[in-house]
Amino acid sequence: MTAALQSYHARMQRVLDYIDRHLDGDLDLDALSSVAAFSKFHFHRQFTATFGLSVHRYVQLVRMRRASFRLAYRDTQSVTDIALDAGYEAPDAFARAFRQRFGQSPSSFRKAPDWAPWVAAFDPLDNARSKLMQKTFAAADVSIREVPATPVAIMEHRGDPETLGATIQRFITWRKAEGLHPRTNPTFNVWRSERRPASAAEYSVDLCVGTDRPIDESDGQVKAGEIPAGRCAVLRVIGHTHNLEPAALYLYREWLPASGEEARDFPIYCQRLSFVPEVPEHEASADVFLPLK
């Protein structure tokens, strides 16, 4: 990549970062072209050519994703407040846009989200982000840590990753009922398959919460388990932690062969340190653990 192209991408990256940090502000063309240091007369065409989405459409999608997270995972905020935060002047306009995009009203999505249309609706946003938001890592980012054994309650997700959102909702509901708050009880994901296996039916991940209390397994929702003790290579990721595959691949492909270490017989996993929608997407953080012998 030429220096000129790197500079161009860096300027566009600044725009994406600015949008993430100012979702409640005025994100008009004047403001965003100024951030990019591009002519406002050409900026919207440059943005569309780079990302495949207009600036307006991109901002709409980012705000709508935040709104959908708040509907699904934060039951203390009203639909009206969520609509206003998403940039709509009236709940009716928000409801029409939401239904058009996801096939559900905001209130029905809050009660029982249909996650497949949700995933499809945000494909353009994820594709746009992937053009410039590739995370790069270095050996200096990795530390080796002695991890203590942590007893956990496990809710398994097996099958189509598009239905993972429903499992996450059940997991959140269960841990709320048990009083296992993320501030006091750590959250882990143990990946037992690739993020995109050859067959969606093979997708497998464990949602875990740290707790040393006895686990009632009679209802079939959760079971008792453990994050085992041992040495781990740890890589911290900050921002847009919904896809931690680049961090996992870095540990496997680059760090591990160069380190002289050997992987232990336990899957790679992560600890979620901060979550959307409790923090904005760009502030979410997670540690990725590669168990070592």
Structural domain count of the chain: 2
Residue 134 has a pLDDT of 65
Gap between the Cα atoms of 41 and 20, Å rounded? 23
Residue, of 277 and 187, whose pLDDT is higher:
187
pLDDT band at residue 271 under the 50/70/90 scheme: very high
| 150 plus 30 within the same structural domain | no
The Cα 201–Cα 192 span in angstroms is 13
Average pLDDT, the chain: 91
- Count of residues in the chain: 293
- For residues 115 and 235, state if they share a domain: no
User: Are 59 and 183 members of one domain?
Assistant: no
The residue segments making up the domain with residue 89 are 3-131
**pLDDT above 90: percentage of residues in the chain:** 60
The last residue of one of the domains, among 89, 106, 131, is 131
Write the pLDDT tens digit of every residue in 23-54.
988 899 999 999 999 998 899 999 999 888 99
pTM, two decimals, is 0.80
- Which pairing describes strands 204-210 and 187-191: parallel, antiparallel, or unpaired? antiparallel
User: Is the domain of 32 the same as that of 146?
Assistant: no
Domain boundary among 84, 113, 131: 131
**Which residue, of 77, 109, 131, is where some domain finishes?**
131
Residue by residue, DSSP assigns 90-154 as: SHHHHHHHHHHHHSS-HHHHHHS--HHHHHHHTHHHHHHHHHH------GGGEEEEEEPPEEEEE
Amino acid 133: pLDDT: 61
Are 215 and 224 a contacting pair, CB within 8 Å? Answer: yes
What CATH number has the domain bearing residue 73?
1.10.10.60
Q: What is the per-residue pLDDT across 216-244, written as a single tens digit (0 to 9) for each?
A: 998 889 999 999 999 999 999 998 788 89
- Work out the angle between the directed axes of helices 29-36 and 40-51 (0-180°, nearest 10): 80
81 and 159 in a single domain? The answer is: no
Residue range 283-289: mean pLDDT, rounded: 95
Q: Within this chain, do residues 124 and 157 fall inside the same structural domain, yes or no?
A: no
- pLDDT of 10 > 90? The answer is no
Cβ pair 237, 279 in contact under 8 A: no
Distance CA 34, CA 230 (A): 50
On whether the CB atoms of residues 106 and 82 are closer than 8 A, the answer is yes
pLDDT tens digits, 96-153: 999 999 999 999 999 888 888 888 888 888 888 777 666 789 999 999 999 999 999 9
- The reported pLDDT for the residue numbered 221 is 92
Identify whether residues 94 and 157 lie together within a single domain: no
